Amino acid sequence: MRANISDLTENIDLFFTKNNQDGEASCVSWDGKGQLNWTTFGCETETFDNNTIKCSCSHLTCFAVLMNLPDVKITELNQESLTFISSIGCGILIFFLSVALFMHFLLRVANTGDNAACIFIALLLHYSMLASFTWFFIQALHMYLWLIRQNVSITNYMRKITVLGWAAP
């Protein structure tokens, strides 16, 4: 069930607070029809005292304030360096993925007479997967603390997350 509420007689005013961010603010709403993207249609942006943003919109949808960051120039040398480093990383990834696939498909009928070695490798693979998921969780927690909670100070943070990442699985 969906209702289209637009062309209101009075605009709806929404106020947002900037968190000491530089850049140009833009009030947008989600266009649920057509292109499925953020649009400035029907919204006006006003900034008060460099800290408060007023959005005045003529319809009801999901609203947000998008910030255009100040111009940050990436030099040609930096762009080339980043491209080179990314290419090297992708090459290493493809190499080791090929090695893993080779070992899985061609060596899976190898000697399985040594039960202890089989159990050890199974435990190692299981631990590796659990550690991988734990590190994904830690990264999500880190992003939450960094983006949502902001300015959170945890003593010995790196030591704690390292112990959690390797000992919890």
* 3-state DSSP of 30-51: EECCCCCEEECCCEEEEEECCC
Whether 35 maps to a domain, the answer reads yes
| Phi, psi (degrees; rounded to nearest 5) at 7 | 55, 50
CA distance 49 to 25: 13
Domain C-terminal end among 50, 68, 86: 68
Domain C-terminal end among 30, 47, 68: 68
Domain that holds residue 155: 114-169
Whether 103 maps to a domain, the answer reads no
pLDDT digits (tens, 9 = 90+) for 74-98: 888 988 999 999 999 999 999 999 9
Domains in the chain: how many in total? Answer: 2
Q: Regarding beta strands 52-57 and 12-17, do their DSSP bridges make them parallel or antiparallel, or are they unpaired?
A: antiparallel
Whether 108 maps to a domain, the answer reads no
Q: Looking at the predicted structure, is the pLDDT value of residue 50 above 90?
A: no
Please name the helix (run of DSSP H) or strand (run of DSSP E) that holds residue 57, with its range, or none.
Answer: strand 52-57
Whether 75 maps to a domain, the answer reads no
pTM: 0.41
Whether 39 maps to a domain, the answer reads yes
Whether 134 maps to a domain, the answer reads yes
Q: Looking at the predicted structure, is the pLDDT value of residue 64 above 80?
A: yes
Instruction: Using pLDDT thresholds of 50, 70 and 90, give the confidence band for residue 110.
Output: low
113 or 67, which is more confident: 67
Nearest-5° angle of CA 61, CA 64, CA 67?
150
The confidence score (pLDDT) of residue 1 equals: 40
Whether 78 maps to a domain, the answer reads no
The confidence score (pLDDT) of residue 86 equals: 94
114 or 115, which is more confident: 115
Whether 127 maps to a domain, the answer reads yes
